[in-house]
Amino acid sequence: MKLLRYGAPGAEKPGLLDTAGRVRDLSGVVADIAGDTLRPAGLKALRALDPETLPLVEGTPQDDLRLGACVGNIGKFICIGLNYADHAAEAGMPIPQEPIIFNKWTSAVVGPNDGIQIPRGSAKTDWEVELGVVIGQPGSYIDEANAMDHVAGFCVINDVSERDFQLNRAGTWDKGKGCDTFGPTGPWLVTPDEIADMDNMDMWLDVDGKRMQTGSTATLIFKIPHLISYCSQFMSLQAGDVISTGTPPGVGMGQKPQQFLHGGEVVTLGIAGLGAQKSKVLAA
C-alpha cells in the first residue's frame, strides 16, 4: 500500500494511492495516517479494503492536489548521521563505531512539495536525500532479528541542514537540523510488502536539474534492523515515530568548491519505489 495525507496545511486528510495513481479518501475509515492506524492491526484493516469502493479525490497528487507529510502527528523524528560509507569519506570523517543519533524537531516537517525556507542568518543551507523508516509496532529493547516487525513503512525524506548552525554554533547538530521546513516527508508511506530489497534502493537528488547525489542503500553502514534495535535501547519507539537513516555522498558541503542553497533553487529528489519530491527554495 501507498498511504498519504492530502489537503491544505494543517487540515490534511488520510488517503490511499490506487494502482492508477489516483488518491482515494480514507477519512471515512481512519482519522489520520498516524498512531494506531500504523500498527499491524491498523494496516491489516486498510489492506483488506477494496480501493475502488473508496471515494475518489479530485486532482492529481503533487500537481493540483497538495500532499502533506505522509505521517501525521510524528512523535519523534530521529536522524542518523554519517551512515553511508561513501558520505563519511566525502566528509573526511571516520566511519562511526556506533550510530550517530540526532533529532529533527517535528515543527520542521512539511509536505513533499512544500517550499524550503532559508532561515535568517543562514549561509550554508544544504540538502540530503534520505530513506525514512516509520515505526508501526511500538517497542523498547527490540531484538535486531525482530526489528522489521516494528516497521509500518518507508518514505523519502530531505534532511535539509544548515551546516554553519550544525557545526560551528556550539553544542549538538540539532541546531542546524530542525529549522522550520527542514523536513519534507513523503510523498507517500510505502508498506514493506511493496519493497523488493530495502538494502539495494537507488537514491538521487538534483538541484536545478543538476544531479548532485546518486547513491544506494547498499552502502549503508548500519542497516535498518540494526538502527531500529539500536535506537530502541535509548528510547521507546512509538507508532508514527520516524527514523531518517542517513544520506549518500553529493551534499553541498562535500562539493569542491562547496555549494549551498540561497533561495530560488528547485530541489528534486527520490528513492526507487518510494516516489519523489520537488521543493522550491525560498530566500530568508
Kindly tell me if the per-residue pLDDT of 268 is higher than 80: yes
The contacts of residue 99 (CB under 8 Å, 6+ apart) are 80, 83, 222, 226, 227, 230, 231
At residue 266, the pLDDT reads 98
* CATH-assigned architecture of domain 69-282: Alpha-Beta Complex (3.90)
Mean pLDDT of 45-58: 97
Kindly tell me if the per-residue pLDDT of 53 is higher than 90: yes
Gyration radius of the chain over CA positions: 18
Mean pLDDT of 103-115: 98
Q: Read off the pLDDT of residues 199-248 as tens digits, 9 standing for 90 and up.
A: 999 999 999 999 999 999 999 999 999 999 999 999 999 999 999 999 99
Mean pLDDT of 178-196: 97
Q: What percent of the chain has pLDDT over 70?
A: 100
pLDDT range class, residue 89, cuts 50, 70, 90: confident
At residue 93, the pLDDT reads 78
Average pLDDT of the chain to the nearest whole number: 96
Q: Read off the pLDDT of residues 4-22 as tens digits, 9 standing for 90 and up.
A: 999 999 999 999 999 999 9
Mean pLDDT of 121-125: 96
pLDDT range class, residue 251, cuts 50, 70, 90: very high
At residue 95, the pLDDT reads 87
At residue 172, the pLDDT reads 85
Q: Read off the pLDDT of residues 63-78 as tens digits, 9 standing for 90 and up.
A: 999 999 999 999 999 9
pLDDT range class, residue 91, cuts 50, 70, 90: confident
At residue 86, the pLDDT reads 81
Mean pLDDT of 245-253: 95
